[in-house]
Amino acid sequence: MNTLTTIDELGFAPALQEEMLEDTTSDHALLEATRTGNQDAFAELVSRYRNQITSYIYRMTNDYDGAVDLAQETFVRVYRAADRYQRSYAFSTYIYRIATNLAISELRKRKRRKLVSLTGFFQATDGGEAKELNPPDGRPLQDSELVDTERRNAVQRAISTLPEKYRAPLILRDVDGRSYDEIAKILETSEGTVKSRISRARGFLREKMRAYL
Amino acid sequence: MRKNNCELTRRELDELMLDETCSSAAVEHLRECAACREFHQTQTKLRQMVGGLGTVAAPPDFVFRLRARLAGESNSASFHYWPLARRGLAVAAVLIVLATGIVVVRNIMNQPQEVITANSVVPQPAPRPVESPVESPKPTAVNPEEFSAAVPANSPQRIKNQRPAQIAPKNRRPVATMDFSFDRADVINGSVAASTAFPIDASLQSLKVSLDDGRGNARTISVPAISFGSQRVLQGGNQFAPKGVW
């Protein structure tokens, strides 16, 4: 009795072979394998999304260590809820939704505790718009790398002052480059709302970053 | 009309990705409108800056820490419902404390009532007609208030005794009295040795009764010896002996 060792031995047409390989390595297939106890499949999912999720949460919270913890919590929830996962959405939409909920929850906790970021901004005490602690230095820097670093920091600080309902769609669109449709699914809202919020977020940013534009 | 074109063009530019090309109408409008051209340049620069933030990499030990976390959670799976169990234990502890408190409070509330009950239980003998040739002083149940009457009005002892009963100490004991006035006297038979039945010198001793008034104060009643003349009991039990013979 011969044992098939490779997919080539099955004798499928090349296009079909490609489709099957694609299917076995898709996010859905990996999560399905995770459900059956395949730890390697889950490790593959983690390696695919760990940087994206960590980066997204970091842009949302402006706290790297906290972002790493929340990213891990995101994967733990994916692992725990693997049995209840439904394939109606893309896996990326699913995991980004979990990450968004965790990040927004963390931002609300911080707001309740009146935590102040030490990286440069004071939260307004009257619930209004946050005020900048260190206004951007208009003087030219010597090194172009320093200029870029300073500009990136300024952008990150400006994003972190945005209200959370504007922050998430802006990051998903302008940093991660996701489509309006996917953002709407992640945030569980309509495309029109997403477009409106992104437009307003850019308006806020333009005002804050006027010195750099 | 021009303002409407500006809004439409800016909305279109806003919705496009940076690498996407806008429509010919928008291009035409940008060529004519300086304000929209400046808006487009500013917006493009801003989006390039935001997009230039890039992706922050996860730490190298991310997978290791995640595995450790998952392993730790699976090991403590039996304690998955610990928060619920902890709430249940807290509720049970509160109930136990409440029950104990209720019992203690009830005991405290019942304690003064027992004192009152004990006071009321003190036997108050009904007056019985006593056919006694000698009018003996009628002993009554000893009342602490009656004791205070014998104390001078300005003495500290009296002031102390005039305290209201409500502030009496909790370990107040009921006043115990014994009234022997209505008890039947022992019958002395002639066969019994008189010296053992009734000491001949009993009347020579004064009677002393010590009572507790319930506040810890001892009251002593001293009754002087009462003499009815010669008190001798004849050995033979014959009370009609000839004169001069004892």
Contacts of B15 in chain A (CB under 8 A): 180, 195
Q: How confident is the model at residue B7 (pLDDT cuts 50, 70, 90)?
A: confident
Residue B144 has pLDDT above 50, yes or no: no
Asked if the structure places residue B84 within a domain, the reply is: no
The C-alpha atoms of residue A75 and residue A43 are separated, in whole angstroms, by 10
Residue whose pair of structure tokens reads 């900048």 in the numeric block: A132
Contacts of A153 in chain B (CB under 8 A): none
**Which of A97, A107, A98, A81 lies closest to A188 in space, CA to CA?**
A97
B55, containing H or E segment: none
Taking any CB pair shorter than 8 Å as contact, residues of chain B touching chain A are 11, 14-15, 17, 42-43, 45-47, 49-59, 62-63, 65-66, 69-70, 73
Is B56 in contact with A51 (Cβ distance < 8 A)? yes
CA of B56 to nearest chain A CA: how many angstroms apart? 5
Please state the separation of Cα B38 from the chain's center in Å.
Answer: 80
More confident residue, A210 or A135: A210
What is the DSSP secondary-structure string of chain A? -----SGGGGT--HHHHHHHHHHHTSHHHHHHHHHTT-HHHHHHHHHHHHHHHHHHHHHHHS-HHHHHHHHHHHHHHHHHGGGG--TTS-HHHHHHHHHHHHHHHHHHHHHHHT---TTTEEPPTTSS--EESSPPP-SPPS-HHHHHHHHHHHHHHHHHTS-HHHHHHHIIIIIS---HHHHHHHHTS-HHHHHHHHHHHHHHHHHHTGGG-
Taking any CB pair shorter than 8 Å as contact, residues of chain A touching chain B are 43, 46-47, 50-55, 58-59, 64, 67-68, 71-72, 75-76, 79, 148, 151-152, 155-156, 159, 170, 174-175, 177, 180, 195, 198-199, 202, 205-206, 209, 212-213
The C-alpha atoms of residue B61 and residue A72 are separated, in whole angstroms, by 11
Residue B36 has pLDDT above 70, yes or no: yes
The C-alpha atoms of residue B202 and residue B192 are separated, in whole angstroms, by 17
Instruction: Write out the two tokens for A126.
Output: 């009257």
Q: Would you state the torsion angle of the CA atoms of residues B99, B103, B104, B108, taken in this order, to the nearest 10 degrees?
A: 150
The C-alpha atoms of residue B62 and residue A40 are separated, in whole angstroms, by 15
Q: How confident is the model at residue A56 (pLDDT cuts 50, 70, 90)?
A: very high
Q: How confident is the model at residue B26 (pLDDT cuts 50, 70, 90)?
A: confident
pLDDT for position A94: 92
Contacts of A52 in chain B (CB under 8 A): 55
Q: How many CB pairs under 8 A join A and B?
A: 84
pLDDT for position A25: 80
Q: Which of B17, B42, B52 is the closest to A152 by Cβ?
A: B52
pLDDT for position A73: 94
Minimum mean pLDDT among A34-48, A56-70, A140-154, B8-22: which range? A140-154
Q: Which of A46, A50, A175 is the closest to B51 by Cβ?
A: A175
The whole-chain average pLDDT of chain A stands at 80
Q: What is the pLDDT of residues A5-30, one digit of tens each?
A: 444 444 444 544 454 445 568 888 89
Residue A210 has pLDDT above 60, yes or no: yes
Asked if the structure places residue B28 within a domain, the reply is: yes
- Between the two ends of chain B, the Cα-to-Cα distance in Å is 156
Helix axes B24-32, B34-51, angle to 10 degrees: 120
Q: Which of B50, B69, B70 is the closest to A155 by Cβ?
A: B50
Cβ neighbours of residue B148 under 8 Å, at least 6 residues apart? B157, B158, B161, B162
The C-alpha atoms of residue A110 and residue A106 are separated, in whole angstroms, by 6
**Which of A101, A78, A82 lies closest to A186 in space, CA to CA?**
A101
The total domain count for chain B is: 1
Model's pTM, two decimal places? Answer: 0.55
On whether the CB atoms of residues A68 and B58 are closer than 8 A, the answer is yes
What is the DSSP secondary-structure string of B193-214? -HHHHS-TTGGGSPEEEEEE-S
The C-alpha atoms of residue B56 and residue B70 are separated, in whole angstroms, by 24
The C-alpha atoms of residue A212 and residue B45 are separated, in whole angstroms, by 9
Q: What is the pLDDT of residues A142-171, one digit of tens each?
A: 677 787 788 888 899 999 999 989 999 999
Helix (H, G, I), strand (E, B) or coil at B220: strand
Is B14 in contact with A46 (Cβ distance < 8 A)? no
Asked if the structure places residue B139 within a domain, the reply is: no
- Determine whether A208 is exposed, middle or buried from the number of CB atoms within 10 Å of its CB (0-12, 13-18, 19+): buried
Is B69 in contact with A174 (Cβ distance < 8 A)? no
Q: What is the pLDDT of residues B52-105, one digit of tens each?
A: 888 889 999 999 999 888 888 776 655 556 666 788 889 999 999 999 999 999
Is A51 in contact with B66 (Cβ distance < 8 A)? no
Residue B147 has pLDDT above 50, yes or no: no
- Determine whether B47 is exposed, middle or buried from the number of CB atoms within 10 Å of its CB (0-12, 13-18, 19+): buried
Is B69 in contact with A180 (Cβ distance < 8 A)? no
The whole-chain average pLDDT of chain B stands at 69
Class of domain A116-213: mainly alpha
pLDDT for position A170: 93
pLDDT for position B185: 63
Q: Which of B14, B53, B59 is the closest to A156 by Cβ?
A: B53
ipTM of the complex: 0.72
Sign of the C-alpha dihedral computed for residues A193, A199, A200 and A204 taken in this order:
positive
Q: Which of A59, A202, A213 is the closest to B53 by Cβ?
A: A59
What average pLDDT does the segment B175-198 reach? 58
Q: What is the pLDDT of residues A65-111, one digit of tens each?
A: 999 999 999 999 999 888 888 778 889 999 999 999 999 999 998 88
On whether the CB atoms of residues A48 and A31 are closer than 8 A, the answer is no
pLDDT for position B111: 75
Q: Which of A53, A54, A174 is the closest to B47 by Cβ?
A: A174
The C-alpha atoms of residue B226 and residue B230 are separated, in whole angstroms, by 11
Residue ranges making up the domain that contains B11: 2-50
Helix (H, G, I), strand (E, B) or coil at B49: helix
Q: Where in chain A is the domain with CATH 1.10.1740.10?
A: 12-115
Q: Where in chain A is the domain with CATH 1.10.10.10?
A: 116-213
Is B69 in contact with A58 (Cβ distance < 8 A)? no
Asked if the structure places residue B127 within a domain, the reply is: no
Q: What is the CATH number of domain A12-115?
A: 1.10.1740.10
